[in-house]
Structure 1
Amino acid sequence: MYLGIDIGGTFIKYALIDEENKVIKKWKKETKLKETKDEFYDYLCEGLDKYEYEAIGISAPGVIDSNSNILSKAAENVQIMYGTNVNLEVSKRLKKKVATINDAKAAGYCEFLLGNGKGTRSSVYFIIGTGIGGCVCDSQGVIQGVNGMAGEFSGIALSKDKDKPQFWASVASIPALVRIYNEKANENLKYGTEVCKKYLNNEETAIKAMEEWVDNICLCFYNIILFINPEVICLGGGISEEDWFIDLVKERFTNMENPFLEICTTKIKRCLYGNDANLLGAVLYLRRENN
């Protein structure tokens, strides 16, 4: 039995996972803002010594190097992790072996081994949320890069304008969808689900906003294809569980008229494992590291 931990900006999710990759027990708690890293890791590990498990696989946000050092800041509630060594902090509290991987890479690794990237020689995982999580795999698994930055799609630059810099996260994340709609409708919506509801109710402004946003996602895919030319791009994040969204992305991508797309064979799919992908991917990574 293994313990999987998925550290997010809103919730910390936990799961006990067996040798057959079956989730035996799953629970979560709110991610609370802590003043010190010791308070944060104490809270993370609180109560975990009462369970039976062999080792711990952790999925965490931000750039993480091969030694589990957190090299970049993420959401406010987890920024205290910046500059810490996750394996060291957790292992000294729980006395277990620990392996830590970036959250999007955990999801991608799960899909690569078990999901819609299984059996491919090249695959990309595009996780849509408050930013854009990314993971690139070859036939051997996750490509980390020298410092663990490979696949950090959120930070890919579209503009160097110092007053209003544009990145992939600026145009293709859920907050980007909300911004596009608000600018068109002169409203002040806060959540992507609100825009989706209006879109599904055939509101004209929502339809225009959704199509512009999906076109931005497709442009990201086009750039990925030119650089990597993967066999498959898998979409993740909550919205990827909606059939209408996957269908719309495929339709808008098929109708793009950019160079080379007429010979492109890259398939677009959703991630198969949804909300469990990070937890499963972290444990799969742990087992690989322990072998």
Structure 2
Amino acid sequence: MYLSIDIGGTLIKSALMDRSGQIFKKESRPISRKSIDEFDNILFQVIDYYFSTDIRGISVSCPGAVDTNTGTIYNGGAFPFQHNVNLKSKLEHRYGVEVAIENDGRCAALAELWLGSVQGKR
């Protein structure tokens, strides 16, 4: 099982899914834009909610420019306190699983290519 997280401007959405994209559990809740500490607290609550399941990895879709190799976020969009934060490292250290982070717009495009309206297109 994999945990997929989408950080939006007002909500954090999450889903527990398998490799084929089948969703087994999902939820959304408001996300704080006040400070990095409040943001992290909500993000950790979301992940902790699922972590009793055998999770092999976490994927995060977030605003801003993302260095996918390091997991560092630049210009965090609605979350300016995320600028220069290595979210990948923070989550890998806390949860001990592999983490992938990508820009939210690119994630939407990849999802459409994988299972959506442009599946099978070039």
The two structures have a TM-score, normalised by structure 1, of 0.38
**Structure with more of its chain in helix, by fraction:** 1
Query: Does the 8 Å CA contact 2:32/2:38 hold for their aligned counterparts?
Result: no
CA distance in 2, matches of 1:59, 1:108: 11
Query: Which has more radius of gyration?
Result: 1
CA distance in 2, matches of 1:61, 1:22: 25
CA distance in 1, matches of 2:29, 2:119: 31
Matches for 1:102-251 after TM superposition, within 5 Å:
102-121=103-122
Shift of 1:32: 1.2
CA distance in 2, matches of 1:111, 1:89: 28
Where does residue 101 of structure 1 map in the other structure?
102
Where does residue 9 of structure 1 map in the other structure?
9
With over 3 angstroms needed to count, the CA separation of the structure-2 counterparts of 1:38 and 1:90, relative to structure 1, is farther
Where does residue 54 of structure 1 map in the other structure?
56
Percent sequence identity is 34
Where does residue 22 of structure 1 map in the other structure?
22
Unaligned runs of 5+ in 2: none
Shift of 1:69: 1.1
Query: Does the 8 Å CA contact 1:45/1:93 hold for their aligned counterparts?
Result: no
CA distance in 2, matches of 1:95, 1:39: 22
CA distance in 2, matches of 1:52, 1:79: 33
CA distance in 2, matches of 1:38, 1:89: 13
1:61-87 deviation line (CA, Å, top 9, x unaligned): 111112221111311xx2221110110
With over 3 angstroms needed to count, the CA separation of the structure-2 counterparts of 1:120 and 1:10, relative to structure 1, is same
CA distance in 2, matches of 1:6, 1:73: 14
Where does residue 75 of structure 2 map in the other structure?
72
The alignment's C-alpha RMSD in Å is: 1.6
Query: Does the 8 Å CA contact 1:14/1:26 hold for their aligned counterparts?
Result: yes
Query: Does the 8 Å CA contact 1:40/1:80 hold for their aligned counterparts?
Result: no
CA distance in 1, matches of 2:38, 2:32: 10
Unaligned runs of 5+ in 1: 122-291
1:190-248 deviation line (CA, Å, top 9, x unaligned): xxxxxxxxxxxxxxxxxxxxxxxxxxxxxxxxxxxxxxxxxxxxxxxxxxxxxxxxxxx
Where does residue 31 of structure 1 map in the other structure?
31
Where does residue 43 of structure 2 map in the other structure?
44
CA distance in 1, matches of 2:80, 2:74: 11
**Structure with more of its chain in strand, by fraction:** 2
Please state whether the residue corresponding to 2:75 is helix, strand or coil.
coil
Please state whether the residue corresponding to 2:65 is helix, strand or coil.
coil
Query: Does the 8 Å CA contact 1:41/1:90 hold for their aligned counterparts?
Result: no
Shift of 1:38: 4.3
For residue 56 of structure 1, what is the amino acid of its counterpart? Answer: I
Shift of 1:113: 2.0
Please state whether the residue corresponding to 1:119 is helix, strand or coil.
coil
CA distance in 1, matches of 2:107, 2:23: 16
Please state whether the residue corresponding to 1:9 is helix, strand or coil.
coil
Where does residue 90 of structure 1 map in the other structure?
91
For residue 73 of structure 1, what is the amino acid of its counterpart? Answer: G
CA distance in 2, matches of 1:69, 1:56: 15
